[in-house]
């Protein structure tokens, strides 16, 4: 009997992620497959739920709505911030994430969406927010998590965390 994915299992898989228009956003093809610990939010919830019960060798397509991935678009949209407010030793690039403090005092993550001259545009939405994600998945391996992995809440080894 082969292992199937569920809580406490590590899944190792190759994936290609495309948007609604078929543009490839990300892919593990040509590199190492990704390893994750099931039940610990290592991957977006809408993909994790569709991994449940899958075994090594399974191939499937998973469509994940924004609410089950990086959320719906919210907030005011990209907002300009002077470059001088960022650390001077950081090479600012579109797509970078920064920790900041929101107006309510709670920590929040801001993403750089554009850089124009001395203005850096930041947005609270993840770059993939509001997008329906299309994953083509091939499960490579399913194995029980080690005690260390369960304690840490993520997979170790190739495709997982190294530390
Ligand atoms: Zn660890």
Q: What are 49-87's pLDDT values in tens digits?
A: 999 999 999 999 999 999 999 999 998 999 999 999 988
pLDDT at 1: 64
Separation between Cα atoms, residue 11 and residue 150, nearest integer Å: 13
Centre of ligand 1 from the C-alpha of residue 145, in Å: 11
Centre of ligand 1 from the C-alpha of residue 117, in Å: 40
Centre of ligand 1 from the C-alpha of residue 36, in Å: 11
Centre of ligand 1 from the C-alpha of residue 151, in Å: 8
Q: What are the tens digits of pLDDT across the range 15-44?
A: 999 999 999 999 999 999 999 999 999 999
pLDDT at 104: 86
Strand partners, 4: 55
Instruction: Quote the distance between the C-alpha of residue 156 and its chain's center.
Output: 17
Strand partners, 84: none
Q: Which residue spans within the chain are E strands per DSSP?
A: 9-18, 24-27, 34-37, 59-64, 79-82, 97-101, 107-116, 119-123, 133-144
Task: Spell out the long-range contacts of 46-50 with Cβ–Cβ below 8 A and sequence spacing 24 or more.
Answer: 46/133, 47/133, 47/135, 47/137
The neighbourhood of ligand 1, an ion, using CB within 5 A, equals 152, 161
Separation between Cα atoms, residue 124 and residue 109, nearest integer Å: 6
- Would you say 36 and 46 are in contact if contact means Cβ atoms under 8 Å apart? no
Centre of ligand 1 from the C-alpha of residue 47, in Å: 22
Q: What is the mean pLDDT of residues 97-117?
A: 90
Centre of ligand 1 from the C-alpha of residue 38, in Å: 14
Centre of ligand 1 from the C-alpha of residue 144, in Å: 15
Q: Which residue is listed with tokens 């190294």?
A: 162
């Amino acid at each position: 009997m082969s292992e199937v994915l569920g809580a406490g299992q590590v899944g190792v898989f190759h994936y290609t992620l495309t948007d609604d228009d078929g543009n490839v956003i990300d892919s593990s093809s040509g590199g190492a497959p990704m390893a994750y610990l099931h039940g610990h939010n290592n991957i977006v919830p809408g993909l994790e739920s569709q991994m449940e019960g899958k075994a090594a060798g399974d191939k499937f397509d998973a469509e994940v709505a924004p609410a089950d991935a990086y959320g719906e678009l919210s907030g005011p949209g990209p907002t300009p911030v002077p470059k001088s407010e960022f650390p001077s030793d950081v090479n600012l690039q579109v797509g970078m994430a920064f920790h900041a403090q929101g107006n309510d005092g709670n920590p929040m993550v801001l993403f750089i969406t554009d850089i124009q001259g001395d203005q850096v545009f930041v947005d609270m939405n993840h770059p993939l927010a509001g997008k329906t994600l299309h994953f083509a998945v091939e499960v490579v391996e399913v194995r029980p998590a080690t005690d260390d992995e369960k304690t840490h809440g993520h997979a170790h080894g190739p495709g997982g965390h190294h530390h």
